[in-house]
Amino acid sequence: MRAAIIGIGAIARLHAKALADIPGVTLVAATCRTEEKGRAFATEFGCTWHADAATLLRREKPDFVTVATPSGAHLDAALAAIRRGVPVICEKPLEITLKRIDRMIAAADRRGVALGAIFPQRFNPVVATVQEAAATGRFGQLAIAASYVPWWRDDAYYGPGRWQGTKALDGGGALMNQSIHGVDALQWIAGATMPGLAPGENPVESVVALTAVRAHDAERLEVEDTCVAILRLKNGALGQLLAATSLFPGSLRRLLVGGRDGTAEILEEQLVSWRFRTEATDDAAIRERLGGASHTSGGAADPMAINYACHTRNFEQFLAAVREGRRPPLDGLEGRKAVAIVEACYKSARTGRVAKVEDPRGLQPS
């Protein structure tokens, strides 16, 4: 399959490396408005460079594209491919507003084109193991699902000329950009305890949130570097979010899930707690296999200190669906859920009130 990357930012190099590990996939082209940068990328990864998506799609005719532009530019890139009938898989967040995401989903559905989202933490073995435990009811009645991302970004990260930290292209700060992986993992795991949810329905009902700028220039930074939120889930459980790029020097992210019958806690890629009222035959093996110390900082202080193997698995799942002519499991409706939670958090912080999490229009919850 002929792959192309729209947008050569830092994450594009991870996309290129992840695609290179998939048998039968060849990266043929990438886009970048800066010729010097584009040609350097093309040389490094053995592909061609084009200045814009329209030219790339017309000349290269890829079998699918990945979108790695700044977050607020995902819509235009995705629509360009969808209009040509080219399957699209898009880096997180799918877009920075639900309105834009819904346009992407509607366009892909009308054209009959696969639209996939990139949330690589779903393909992290330790996160997937906790989600499976939730799906099989091992936590009993869920009580808490919490995500903590206590990270650090220096002033240069939000410096002049950078799209990070702008409302137009980042859409938000520590919550929308850095912590959205944890938001998605939380709702994915919690949703597994609610088998009656309709496709696209969010397991989170409402949120209360506060945001602040605490470690950077508040007059220049357009978004938050600190956020805390409380969630109410549709099954009555509660949730917590901590999102920060304000905590020097940055710590590993945590995910905590538990209820009446058990608790699991993840520290980056390490399963630090795996305890249940009733022990299963493979629990000891799971603790042995996933309980080792994390071998990555996960981006706590360095945005690129992440393991791209989960991106590879994310791409593989999408491509299997494309080859088989079916809807990707991690499709636009799934990718929408995390942004719906984030958008509700920002509304709550802005109004000082509880904010409902918006499900897709026309959805009839079961």
Task: Specify the residue for token string 């997180």.
Answer: 92
Q: pTM of this prediction?
A: 0.96
| Confidence (pLDDT) at 297 | 60
326 neighbors 222 (Cβ within 8 angstroms): no
The secondary structure element, H or E, covering residue 259 is: strand 254-259
What count of other Cβ atoms lies within 10 Å of the Cβ of residue 93?
Answer: 30
At residue 333, what is the residue type?
A: L
CA atoms within 13 A on the CB side of 279: 7
Q: What is the pLDDT of residues 6-44, one digit of tens each?
A: 999 889 999 999 999 999 999 999 999 999 999 999 999
| Confidence (pLDDT) at 219 | 87
| Confidence (pLDDT) at 250 | 96
| Confidence (pLDDT) at 303 | 65
What count of other Cβ atoms lies within 10 Å of the Cβ of residue 18?
Answer: 22
| Confidence (pLDDT) at 366 | 36
**φ and ψ at residue 148, rounded to 5 degrees:** -125, 120
Q: In whole angstroms, what is the distance from residue 112 CA to residue 308 CA?
A: 29
Give the residue among 22, 18, 44 at the shortest CA–CA distance from 32.
Answer: 44
116 neighbors 88 (Cβ within 8 angstroms): yes
Q: Residue 136, class by beta-carbon neighbours within 10 Å (0-12 exposed, 13-18 middle, 19+ buried)?
A: exposed
Q: Which residues of 306-323 are buried (b: 16+ CB within 10 A; e: fewer)?
A: bbbebbbbbbbbbbebbe
Q: In whole angstroms, what is the distance from residue 216 CA to residue 363 CA?
A: 40
| Confidence (pLDDT) at 365 | 41
Q: Which segments of the chain have a pLDDT < 70?
A: 294-298, 301-305, 363-366
Q: Which two tokens stand for residue 201?
A: 């329905």
Domains of the chain, each with CATH number or no CATH: 2-120 (3.40.50.720), 122-301+331-356 (3.30.360.10)
Q: What is the pLDDT of residues 238-274, one digit of tens each?
A: 999 999 999 999 999 999 999 999 999 999 999 999 9
Q: In whole angstroms, what is the distance from residue 107 CA to residue 113 CA?
A: 8
> What CA–CA distances, in Å, run from 60 to 28, 55, 115, 271?
7, 8, 20, 44
CA 94 centroid distance within chain: 8
| Confidence (pLDDT) at 200 | 96
Q: How many helices (H) and strands (E) does the chain have?
A: 10, 14
The C-alpha R_g of the chain, in whole angstroms, comes to: 20
